[in-house]
């Protein structure tokens, strides 16, 4: 977990100024910021308003996926709509039933939008604003109209908007005044946010984006709310990032179709093993791990494996960022897309440390093959939906 928290720190430190968290904390809105490039697509920032609304502490939220706020009555179709928006790297507004730390459910308007890197068009973060869908209870037990007074046929009831005919308003008010249970949230109802709440969520996102944009200027790595440039070659989509992030082994994804065959994805375990930050290795050739005593004949084997599109395992002396060396059991394998053409090569690294098996009893060879299989499933599954999982030429 410590290494993951380190990646979360880097998620902000490499992109924004050191004052960005303080500036975000001054905003009154309920929101979280997530990083799809980190394993599990974790929350990397949670506002004070969000923590107060949900009852969680910052320590319990940072590093977690947003699904911890879902419960038995959360609509799975809505969750899939959010997942689809992440896959397509676009914004979305949906009404969502979530749960507080104490288990109580509440309806909210979930407004999520991506934040892009200006220089390369990559999705850097997703910002999710949560606006509670409010109810207005009058002193006599009735229910008030929406904040905009948009008409008698729209009434806020049990945190949800209900559609009723104007001739039933009097009877509804009488029933509510007699029935104290009307204060209890009816999670079975279809809830819909008001136009006011939708505008409030959009305005909150704009305020958050303004803060992020301002604090990205000092780092020289500007962000924007819309894709300001065409994604660079070797671009990996957010959904593929998330799928690959579930694989716990040390590995990199290489695009053999691009000049220099750059690394286009590096797992969290790879970063921990080598000491590099993610932004330091993306776009570089795998020889970034080579050093003065790396065997050239082994490098020739790796090159031959790529040229012939054949899997191969080699033992090679590699070097970390701090220049310390380690014996690397490297397994290289082609990864084909849904059309059967090679989209990437995956390189899985295991440091030789005298341990032949992990805590699950798997040998190094089995761990590598398991990681390769998982990568192939992730790439093929995505490429079946979008034609090609990466930006490589077919």
Paired strand residues for 21: none
Report whether 344 contacts 391 (CB < 8 A): no
Tokens of 389: 């999982």
- The angle formed by the CA atoms of residues 269, 270 and 274, to the nearest 5 degrees, is 120
Q: DSSP of 165-184, one letter per residue?
A: -GGGHHHHHHHHHH-GGGGS
Least confident of 7-11, 46-50, 220-224, 283-287: 7-11
Kindly indicate the confidence band of residue 190, based on its pLDDT and cuts at 50, 70 and 90: low
Angle of the 238-245 helix axis to the 364-386 helix axis, nearest 10: 160
Residue 162: the pLDDT is 43
Measured distance CA(300)–CA(253) in Å, rounded = 19
Q: Smallest Cα–Cα separation from 13: which of 194, 183, 218?
A: 218
pLDDT of residue 188 exceeding 60, the answer is: no
Whole-number Å distance between alpha carbons of 108 and 110: 6
For the stretch 226-276, pLDDT in tens is 887 665 556 678 888 888 988 989 999 999 988 889 999 999 999 999 999
What are the pLDDT digits (tens) for 291-335?
999 999 999 999 999 999 999 999 999 999 999 999 999 999 999
Task: Give me the helix-helix angle, 238-245 and 76-88, nearest 10°.
Answer: 110
CA atoms within 13 A on the CB side of 180: 0
**In angstroms, rounded to a whole number, what is the distance separating the alpha carbons of residues 254 and 249?**
16
**Where does residue 282 fall: left (phi above 0), alpha (psi -120 to 50 degrees), or beta otherwise?**
beta
251 closest CA partner among 123, 350, 347: 347
pLDDT tier for residue 187 given thresholds of 50, 70 and 90:
low
Average pLDDT of the segment spanning 184-191: 57
Mean pLDDT over 275-290 rounds to: 90
Q: State how far the Cα of 271 lies from the Cα of 65, in Å rounded to an integer.
A: 20
pLDDT band at 3 (very low <50, low <70, confident <90, very high): low
CA distance 194 to 192: 7
Stronger pLDDT, 221 or 162, i.e. the higher one:
221
Q: How far is Cα 345 from Cα 352, in angstroms, rounded to an integer?
A: 22
pTM tops 0.75: no
Query: What is the mean predicted confidence (pLDDT) over 180-209?
Result: 77
Strands (E), 202-248: 223-224
- The secondary element (H helix, E strand) that includes residue 326 is strand 325-336
Considering only residues 69 and 182, tell me which one the structure prediction assigns the higher pLDDT.
69
Q: Per-residue b/e over 82-118, b at no fewer than 16 CB within 10 Å?
A: beebbbebebbbbbbbbbeeeeeebbbbbbbbbbbbb
> Which two structure tokens, joined as six digits, stand for 336?
């084909």
Contact residues for 268 (Cβ-Cβ < 8 A; gap 6+): 3, 4, 7, 38, 39, 245
- Does the structure show a pLDDT above 70 at 152? no
CA–CA dist 261, 232 (Å, integer): 14
- Please state the rounded mean pLDDT for residues 11-18: 86
pLDDT at 141 over 60: no
Number of C-beta neighbours around residue 159 at 10 A? 20
Q: Which pLDDT tens digit goes with each residue over 337-360?
A: 888 899 999 999 999 875 555 555
The arithmetic mean of pLDDT across residues 145-170, rounded, is 41
Mean residue pLDDT across the chain: 82
Residue 24 tokens, joined: 């975000």
Q: Residue written as tokens 């590598």?
A: 368
| 369 token code pair | 């093959």
| Cα–Cα distance, 22 to 25 (Å, whole number) | 5
């Amino acid at each position: 977990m410590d290494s993951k928290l380190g990646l979360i720190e880097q998620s902000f430190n490499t992109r924004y100024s050191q004052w960005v968290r303080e500036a975000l904390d001054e905003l009154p809105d309920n929101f979280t910021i997530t990083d799809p490039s980190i394993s599990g697509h974790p929350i990397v920032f949670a506002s004070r308003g969000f923590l107060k609304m949900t009852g969680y502490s910052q320590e319990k939220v940072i590093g977690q996926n947003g699904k911890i706020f879902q419960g038995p009555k959360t609509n799975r179709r809505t969750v899939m709509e959010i997942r689809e928006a992440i896959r397509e790297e676009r914004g979305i507004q949906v009404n969502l039933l979530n749960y507080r730390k104490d288990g109580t459910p509440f309806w909210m308007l979930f407004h999520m939008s991506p934040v892009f890197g200006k220089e390369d068009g990559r999705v850097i973060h997703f910002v999710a604003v949560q606006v509670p869908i409010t109810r207005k209870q009058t002193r006599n037990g009735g229910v008030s109209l929406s904040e905009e007074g948009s008409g008698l046929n729209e009434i806020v009831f049990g945190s949800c908007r209900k559609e009723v005919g104007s001739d039933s308003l009097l009877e509804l008010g009488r029933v509510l005044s007699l029935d104290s249970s009307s204060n209890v949230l009816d999670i079975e109802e279809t809830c819909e946010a008001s136009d006011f709440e939708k505008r409030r969520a959009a305005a909150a996102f704009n305020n958050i984006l303004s803060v992020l944009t301002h604090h990205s200027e000092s780092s020289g790595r500007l962000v924007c709310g819309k894709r300001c440039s065409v994604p660079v070659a070797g671009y990996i989509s957010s959904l593929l990032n998330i799928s690959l992030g579930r694989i716990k082994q040390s590995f990199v994804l290489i695009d053999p179709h691009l000049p220099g065959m750059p690394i286009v994805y590096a797992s969290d375990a790879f970063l921990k093993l080598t000491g590099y930050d993610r932004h330091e290795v993306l776009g570089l050739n795998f020889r970034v791990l080579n050093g003065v005593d790396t065997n050239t004949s082994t490098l020739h084997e790796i090159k031959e494996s790529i040229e012939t599109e054949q899997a191969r395992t080699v033992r090679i002396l590699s070097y970390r960022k701090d220049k310390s060396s380690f014996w690397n059991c490297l397994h290289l394998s082609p990864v084909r897309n849904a059309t059967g053409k090679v989209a990437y090569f995956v390189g899985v690294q295991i440091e030789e440390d005298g341990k032949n098996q992990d805590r699950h009893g798997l040998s190094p060879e089995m761990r590598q093959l398991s990681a390769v299989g998982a990568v192939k499933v992730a790439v093929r599954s995505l490429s079946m939906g979008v034609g090609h999982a990466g930006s490589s030429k077919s």
